[in-house]
Amino acid sequence: VQYDNHYTNTKYCLCQMLREQLESPQGRLLHAAQSSREICEAFGLGAFYEETTQELDAQRAKLSARTSEETGEPAEDTSGVIKMAVKFDRRAYPAQITPKMCLLEWCRREKLAQPVYETVQRPLDRLFSSIVTVAEQKYQSTLWDKSKKLAEQAAAIVCLRSQGLPEGRLGEESPSLHKRKREAPDQDPGGPRAQELAQPGELCKKPFVALGSGEESPLEGW
């Protein structure tokens, strides 16, 4: 009953234990039982069944109320931390772009202090959880990760998504992530400015060079 075991398995195990006692009045009650409640009543545990099932129902109600994690919507708990159930999947992002980089660039663009990450490890399973603080607001993923780096990336995703900001995912349309570096029409395509790489603070911008036909093409290898 405590672990919500199916009554048919419980009944089978008890029948194997009782063996010759199945012909007793208690054994006949067990043999006729069609639910966990009836099995408990056969052994004089009706009150135990009622108390335990009430506790389990209360736990189910508490879990079902956590709709913010189930829907993926941000929620703020009593400690003031905005939380979402997200994880960082490296395969969903370009090789040179991560949520942490995009969050850092956004903070620099908005003239905010650099994001601060606080990461802890859970002794039981050695998993990590990180909280990032941006503009005095804390953000955290409710899902624990296997490394400190992954946990920090997940915290950055929570911050970016709660603010409606791009996080650099593949196929994500955002001027800040794919802004092209335009040159003057009379500039030499092979000149030093055309070969200039992105400056610090433009980590999520992809540099482009101007071609003779007026088309633009990304720098090879970037």
Q: How many of the other CB atoms lie within 10 Å of CB of 71?
A: 11
pLDDT at position 163: 92
The pLDDT value recorded for residue 216 is 47
Number of H helices, E strands in the chain: 8, 7
pLDDT on residue 57: 81
Burial (0-12, 13-18, 19+ Cβ within 10 Å), 150:
buried
What confidence score (pLDDT) does residue 97 get?
Answer: 92
Report whether 54 contacts 61 (CB < 8 A): no
Residue-level pLDDT at 78: 55
Where exactly are the structural domains of the chain? Answer: 7-70, 75-163
Alpha-helical regions (H) of 88-169: 99-109, 148-162
CATH of 75-163, one of 3.40.47.10, 3.40.50.720, 3.30.160.20, 3.40.50.1820: 3.30.160.20
- What is residue 146's predicted lDDT score, i.e. its pLDDT? 92
- pLDDT of amino acid 156: 96
d(CA 31, CA 36): 12
CA separation, residue 138 to residues 3, 105, 115, 197 (Å): 37, 18, 10, 33
Are 87 and 150 in contact, with CB atoms under 8 Å apart? Answer: yes
Q: What pLDDT does 201 receive?
A: 47
So what's the pLDDT on residue 116?
96
Strand partners, 100: none
Distance CA 30, CA 49 (A): 15
**Which residue numbers in the chain have pLDDT < 70?**
64-78, 173-222
pLDDT tens, residue by residue, 153-177: 999 999 999 999 999 988 875 544 4
The pLDDT of residue 184 is 41
pLDDT for residue 208: 43
pLDDT value of position 48 = 92
pLDDT value at position 54? 87
Closest by alpha carbon to 121, among 142, 90, 79, 151? 151
pLDDT at 206: 46
The residue among 183, 165, 184 whose CA lies nearest residue 174 is: 165
